[in-house]
A and B are shown apart, each in its own frame.
Chain A
């Protein structure tokens, strides 16, 4: 790998990868540097998976603009990149008549922001849409353009598409310093030193650290933790829309939503913490999630939880997306403070940042750019005849490895072999869903480890949960002791 690039992107989360894909349209060399072992390992891996309609952000802000544009772009993007996405609509539920004005304000804000088809529904209409809604419901803001998406596939597909169009990726590589030699940005890492004409800082919770290496105009990001609970797919249909409480200054509150794969997701809390790398689930957080959930949805069987997790939001002090060239740092562009609605906004952020960089570097569009990228083949989503052909040609598509989610060996092999393929159990899980079901990998993880070991040519002892030292077994039996 040459050490000089036109653009170096720091961070392979959903923002960095969206920028990478947009830049891959142009004739330029792009490298994405990621500190973790895979794409989608930070803020992007643990969030609500919601495509927001766009009524939350203040009119005129970048958050509002990028949300609206991102939402608009999402349908065609998901078709191009084979990403599961369902526009199921969202409801912001008011359960106290005295707070009705809050719903009216949100409605007005949504109209100003340009959110299509917004409606305020009265209690009967809400009940008709959501039979399990709280008996206290007074009214709700209904936004049919909101939806749910697979956040992993979105991130992975953006990266795969960028890679197929020539973008290079360097994993397990930490940026340690950045300086300018007047012409280029010199990027020192835990591995090599790179230089680039332009830099995109998409480092999530660490975007302030990266920015502050080069700019006198300091940024400050607070990691804001959110706890979630994921419920079994057997509850599919218990709620049909994304159900929010009324928002507060800490965020959109604890939502209840179907995921795009048919689970029910509840959360998040919002607690500012110190660590940017560790987001422990807390007992208090889980209690708050449960209390929050049943306020809006009655009788939600929270005992059907299959896992709890928590994620971090990269909250910048100003509460706004920072999408600009850092002051006094020509060619160094920040994508900082990308918290909600960051997932929704990422295609728009990618488009916007690519336009800034391409005009700075006077880039030309390629004529052979390919924006289409297929997901892992899912035999049980194919019509029967195609499925049977697939299995008879590739018998591994008839061998179920993950019982809970009905994932075959063929899908796991594909996830490992494809460009930027999976290298760990979590990598396989995010690409295939193997291990994401109700037994949480109890049955399939030793089998997935065997497949990883075989495909990667590594001994079983070297297989990790999520890279680094997250090794799953510590050695052979009878080796020590």
Chain B
């Protein structure tokens, strides 16, 4: 089998990348390989609204947002295969399996990695206790409720304040369950402010910051969990234990980009994002292999996934057309004070497709602070922000024309003044 571009994953990133690539060059033979039995990825189970404010200026549900892209995809006649699992990615070939074709290889000119992310499971959190039924990651619970139509439980404690956990606190409450508490290990929430207000505050669900679960009880099904406050070193403080009776513990303790295929292909991974290191074109360390969406870095908003993925898709189309890697001077983007990571990691100005959008996350909570951008030590941008938190992605947009000249480094930092 042959294709100009193979897109691994048909979620929001894959859809946007495919559409943008097809629009860039309608002659390209594009193929999406999707492991699930429908396109749309995790959006299919996100039946709450709030998607598309930036892209469509509307508040859509997840399935509605996906449908907008799927319609475009059908209109453009882009090929896709469902129930198809990619087993291996090499620099110009993708191997996959499905029940019709068996194991097959697609030779291709470019690859866009759009595998998304997975949730950190209980085992990776080292939560002590028994291992009864009733412990779910928030996303698994979301699938059970929204796709399968079943309740994971009736009395719920949630560990972690990631967005899916917050959304599920509201969802479970609306379905008649009692959500007794959301515990967050850190002194700040991992989710969006709007979700804390709309999903917890509006339903009087307590958010207990600097709290964790230290024991899970129940032999067959969860009967209770023990929570405790944690100190500055995130260790439980003796004497603060509280046992909460419940039949369910939901976990929303972080998302991990699914880069097993990328790693085995030899793609260089950024330890801060657990996603590939990419340039302005969302190209990884392997020429012709691009990455976008949550496989690259975990996003808060799908609108940004779509926008980045569009850039990745266009870049892949151009790569196929030019049949060579981009060139020209390289500007490195450096993490200064308070910055955990940036995407992209470096820029080739010649290859820029419009303005340069740099997205990043802070490593801590900063109030009344400034985001600074320095070109080779010279301040180019100094912007006040009332609050910066790790749970909300930040961005700066730099004009392409400002990046001309001999700049070797862009530094982004957070300062008090």
Contact = CB atoms under 8 A, between A and B. Distances in A.
A473 B148 CA distance: 10
Interface stretch (B122-130, B323-331, B349-357): B122-130
A473 B123 contact: no
A442 B119 contact: yes
A190 interface: no
A391 B140 contact: no
Interface residues of B, number: 52
Interface in B118-163: 118-119, 121-124, 126, 128-134, 137, 139-140, 143-145, 147-154
Given A398-B102, A461-B150, A477 B145 contact: yes
B35 A398 contact: no
Contacts of B152: 472-474
B123 A278 contact: no
Q: Main SS of chain B's interface residues?
A: mixed
A446 interface: yes
A395 B177 contact: no
A384 interface: yes
Given A278-B219, A280-B215, A307-B121, A477 B150 contact: yes
- Which of under 10, 10 to 19, 20 to 34, or 35 or more describes the interface residues of A? 35 or more
B83 interface: yes
A478 B119 contact: no
A478 B150 contact: no
B99 A477 contact: no
Nearest to B248: A474
Contact of A309 (B131, B216, B219, B260): B131
A399 B176 contact: no
Contact of A464 (B122, B131, B133): B133
Interface in B176-219: 176-177, 214-216, 219
B98 A387 contact: no
A276 to B, nearest CB: 12
A477 B123 contact: no
Contacts of B175: 477-478, 481
Contacts of A440: 121-124
A286 to B, nearest CB: 5
Contacts of A286: 126, 128
Given A446-B144, A473-B144, A388 B150 contact: no
A277 B101 CA distance: 47
Contacts of A384: 103
Output the residue of B122, B147, B150 with the most chain A CB within 10 A.
B150
Contacts of B73: none
A403 B36 CA distance: 11
Given A230-B123, A395-B100, A398-B97, 14 more contacts: A280-B129, A281-B130, A281-B131, A308-B123, A384-B103, A392-B102, A398-B103, A439-B119, A442-B118, A442-B139, A446-B144, A464-B133, A474-B150, A477-B150
Interface of B: 35, 83, 85, 87, 97-103, 118-119, 121-124, 126, 128-134, 137, 139-140, 143-145, 147-154, 175-177, 214-216, 219-221, 236, 247, 260, 263
User: What are the 8 tightest A-B residue pairs by CB atom distance, in nearest-first order?
Assistant: A481-B176, A307-B123, A398-B99, A395-B99, A440-B121, A465-B133, A473-B150, A400-B85
6 contacts: A279-B130, A395-B99, A397-B99, A399-B83, A477-B149, A481-B177
